[in-house]
Structure 1
Amino acid sequence: MPASDHELEQAGEKLAEQLIAAGITVVTAESCTGGWVAKVLTDKAGSSAYVVGGLVTYSNDAKQQLLGVTDVSLNNHGAVSEPVVREMVAGALATTGANVAVAISGIAGPGGGSEEKPVGTVWFAWGSSAENTEAVVRHFSGDRDQVRRQAVLFALQGVSGLLKQA
C-alpha cells in the first residue's frame, strides 16, 4: 500500500525528534527516490540542526564521483545492489561528516526491471560508519509514485529503527 503524504510527514517528524534528542545529524544518498527523503526531513523549519544534506546520485557516474562507489561494485552487482548502497552510505558519511547516512537505490519503474531485479526492487542501507551499516532489500508493488513513496517511508523508518538500537 502506498504511503500517504500524512504518513511520510509523521515518519519524518518522528525521525527529526529522534535526531534532535540524540544530537546527531543525517545525510541522505538517494537514487530512485530523487531526494524525497531529504525533502521530507527538511519540510520542518529548523531542520538544518539535524540534516547535513542530501545527495541525489541518480546516474552511476554521480554515484562514483560524489560518493566513491567503485567500478567493481557497479559492474559486478549493478547500481541496485547491497554493495552499492553500502558504498553510498560510506561515501555520504565521508563527504559530509554527518553522524548517520541513509542510502537508497532501486527500480521505480515503469521500465528498467529484469527477471533478477523486477520493478519495485529497492536496496537500502543506513549506518554511522562503513563497519556499522545495515543493508536490506525490499520489493514494493504499484506504479512509480507508489514504489517511491513506499521506499521513502521505509528509509525513514529504517533510520528511526537504527537510532532506537543505539
Structure 2
Amino acid sequence: MTEDLSKDILARAMAAGQRVTTAESCTGGMVAAAITDIAGSSNIFDRGFVTYSNAAKQDMLGVQATTLKAHGAVSEEVAAEMAKGARRAAEADLAVAISGIAGPGGSGHKPEGRVCFGLASAGGVSTETVEFGALGRAGVRAAATRHALQLLLDALP
C-alpha cells in the first residue's frame, strides 16, 4: 500500500513541479524510505529529517524549547513546528511531520498509538492527531507512515 501511495506522490509532485520533505520522530525515516523506494524520487525529494530526540528537533528543525516544554514532543504544536522547519531547511514546497507514541507503553494522558501530524505548505500549516490504538510498535509505525503519505498525496494538486 505504501508503494502505491508513494508512486502517486511522485507522479503528482512531478506534474506540479513540487518538492516534498519529511520530518519524522516515531516513524524513524519510514516515510522518507517509502518515497525513496520509488525510482525517480530524486526528482521530488532532496532530503528528510529523522529527529527522534527533542535536541534533534530543536537543532535540525528549529522547534522551540518553550513549545516542547509547554506541550511535549507528542503534540500538534510540535508537529507544526517540525513541518515548518523541515520545509524551510529542505527548501521544499510541502513537508509532513510525524511525532507519536509507537509503544509499548504510553500513559493515560498520551496513550500508545497517539500520533500527531503536521503538514506545511506555502498556504500555511495544518495539524491533526490520530489515535491508532495499541497496535504494537510496528503496527503504529506502519499506520503512521501510511497516514503521512496520504496527507502528502492529498495536499498535492
TM-score (norm 1): 0.91
Counterpart of 1:30 in structure 2 is 24
Amino acid across the alignment from 2:40: G
Structure 2 distance, partners of 1:14, 1:77, is 34
1:163 partnered with 2:137: no
Q: Deviations over 1:96-131 (max 9, x none)?
A: 1111100000000012x11111000000011214x6
5 Å matches for 1:102-113?
A: 102-111=96-105, 113=106
Consecutive unaligned residues of structure 1, counting only runs of 5 or more, are 1-6
Question: Aligned-residue CA RMSD in angstroms?
Answer: 1.0
Counterpart of 1:81 in structure 2 is 75
Q: Give the CA deviation at 1:24.
A: 0.3
1:98 partnered with 2:92: yes
Consecutive unaligned residues of structure 2, counting only runs of 5 or more, are none
C-alpha contact 1:127 1:162 (8 A) present in aligned 2: no
Runs of 4+ residues over 4 Å off in structure 1: none
Question: Which shows bigger deviation, 97-106 or 8-17?
Answer: 8-17
Q: Give the CA deviation at 1:63.
A: 0.1
Identity of aligned residues (%): 47
Amino acid across the alignment from 1:134: S
Counterpart of 1:122 in structure 2 is 115
The DSSP-based 3-state class of the residue aligned with 2:111 is coil
Amino acid across the alignment from 1:139: E
Structure 2 distance, partners of 1:81, 1:49, is 31
